[in-house]
Each structure stands twice: as C-alpha cells, then as structure tokens.
Amino acid sequence: MAHKIIAVDLDGTLLNSQSQLSDFTKETIKKVAQKGHKVIITTGRPYRMAHQYYEELGLDTPMINFNGSLTHLPGKKWKFEQSLTVDKSFLIDMVAREEEIEADFIAGEYRNKFYITNTNEEIANPQLFGVNAFVPENQFNPQLVTKNPSVILLQTRAEDKYALADQMSSFYQHELTINTWGGPLNILECTPKGVHKAFALKYLLNIMNADRKDLIAFGDEHNDTEMLEFAGTGYAMKNANASLLPFADQQLGLTNDQDGVAHELMRLFL
C-alpha cells in the first residue's frame, strides 16, 4: 500500500467533547505513523492552541493552522513555510461596522497573540482563544494593529451566519474567504482570498510530491468542506454538520467521542 497523507481536523473530529485526545486515539495515530503514513493536523486553531496535541501525538510532520493561512513545521525553521495574512484594513473596517454585522466581538488573530473588541467574558469565551481569562493586552486598539492578522474572527448575533458570510463576502468584493465553525456558536472566520484547508493541503502535497488520491481527510464542520471534497477520500464524522455531508465520500458510524477517526484508521491500516 502506498503511504498516505492523513489530514485530521481537531475540534469535533480527533478531539473528544472535552478537547482531549483519548489514549486509544494517541496509540493508533502513533502506530499509523510508524507504518510510514503522514498525519497532518489541519485545524482552524492557531498554533498556540494546537501544539500540545502535536506533541501528545509525537508528530514530526508539518501542521496547518488558521484554516490554511499558516503551513509550517512546528519548532523548526522550514524553507517551505507559508504564512498568509489578511490586510489589516479589513479588520479596521469590520470593527467600524460592528453594529451593522451584529458582532458580539471581532478579533484579529496572530501567530502568538490576538486583539479582541469585547473582553466581557459572559459574551466572548476566552477559551476560544486558548486562554483562561482576557488580560488588558488583549483589548483591541486600532493603534496596535500595525501588522496584518492571520485571520479575523467574529461572533455574530445574526440569525443566519451563513447568509451573513455571503453578504460580507460580497461587500468585500470576494477579497476574503469567509467560513463558519464553532458548531452552535455563530462564529465567522475570515482568511485571505482563496485560502482554506484544501488550499494548504494542495501546497503540502506538491512539496511532498504526493497525489491527492493518496490524501485521506477527516472533518466535522463547514470549514472542512473544501478539504473533504479535495481529498482522495473524505470522511465526515457521525457528529458532522449536515452541510458537510454532500462533500464527503463517506460518513463514519462513530462520533469524535467514540474515537471515530482512530477506529477508521485502525480498519484501514492496522
């Protein structure tokens, strides 16, 4: 069997509902990697919120963060690193239009920091940003926005987050890719134009001299759409958002809390 590239989303996919990796999942991933298959964490999370899982799994492969904006080799200088950003003018403009888009908060996310417009923890959950509590340094101030963010994250009160994403995309003349995640949360995430998980995976496959037919992908949310459609075989979790199912080749019979990814990998490779 040819060695496979295995792209795995984290939240709702590889992680259980407590944002943890089960021992069974960790053992299975390590055994699959020992057979020469390449496991690639492919997540919307920033690196600061994903590195612990990379370490727990004992990976030495590239990682994709920010839904494709950052492709890197954790802890190492890598000549193929790709870090794409959103022009800071979009962040400034969205903040000015905060009421218009019914935003609870708007945040600029960077590799190692973030700025958020609303630090009221009853409205904005600090855990979305990998912290236990907000500190003054997290407060958005337009004067602090001197560099382009990796992504723009916002939570909206709009009834239909998908419709709002379409409206914002049109308003900004399709210069941004606006996707949704967060399950029941009304979260929108803005990445650079044309950037999504499949974009980053295509870049990685070229570097690794691998074919998309050898790419297997697992996901559960709307932001996994392009990845599952692009992969040679795309698996949607049993707990997947219904909007993802038309883009998957198969839906697993098990959820993230039932180690669905690990059981499928065991069936395929072990």
Measured CA to CA, the distance from residue 11 to residue 14 in angstroms comes to 7
Residue that is written with structure tokens 């219904």 in the block = 242
Quote the crossing angle between the two packed helices 23-34 and 260-269, to the nearest 10°.
Answer: 30
Residue 187: in which H helix or E strand, if any?
strand 187-192
Per-residue pLDDT at 219: 96
- How far is the first Cα of the chain from the last one, in angstroms, to the nearest whole number? 12
Question: What average pLDDT is seen over the chain?
Answer: 93
Per-residue pLDDT at 238: 97
Two tokens, residue 202: 């295509």
CB atoms inside a 10 Å sphere around CB 266: 15
pLDDT tens digit sequence for 81-103: 999 999 999 999 999 999 999 99
Whether 15 has a pLDDT exceeding 90, the answer reads: yes
pLDDT tens digit sequence for 184-216: 678 899 999 999 999 999 999 999 999 999 999
Phi, psi torsion values for 162, nearest 5 degrees:
-70, -40
pLDDT band for 74, please (50, 70, 90 cuts).
very high
DSSP conformation letters of 134-182: --GGGB--GGG--S--SEEEEEE--S-HHHHHHHHHHHTTT-EEEEEES
Measured CA to CA, the distance from residue 18 to residue 2 in angstroms comes to 34
Measured CA to CA, the distance from residue 142 to residue 257 in angstroms comes to 41
Per-residue pLDDT at 186: 85
> Are the beta carbons of 140 and 154 closer than 8 angstroms?
no
Q: Where are the domains of the chain?
A: 5-83+195-269, 88-192
Give me the mean pLDDT over the 59-78 stretch. 94
Per-residue pLDDT at 77: 93
Give the distance from CA 153 to its chain's centroid.
Answer: 12
Burial class (CB in 10 A: 0-12, 13-18, 19+), 257: middle
pLDDT band for 161, please (50, 70, 90 cuts).
confident
Per-residue pLDDT at 180: 80
pLDDT tens digit sequence for 28-41: 999 999 999 999 99
Class of 88-192 in CATH: alpha beta
Per-residue pLDDT at 184: 65
Instruction: Provide the residue count of the chain.
Output: 270
Per-residue pLDDT at 1: 59
Measured CA to CA, the distance from residue 58 to residue 47 in angstroms comes to 16
Whether 130 has a pLDDT exceeding 90, the answer reads: no
Per-residue pLDDT at 185: 74
Measured CA to CA, the distance from residue 224 to residue 238 in angstroms comes to 14
3-state DSSP assignment of residue 24: helix
| Span 5-83+195-269 CATH architecture | 3-Layer(aba) Sandwich (3.40)
Two tokens, residue 174: 């399709």
Measured CA to CA, the distance from residue 51 to residue 223 in angstroms comes to 20
Whether 183 has a pLDDT exceeding 70, the answer reads: no
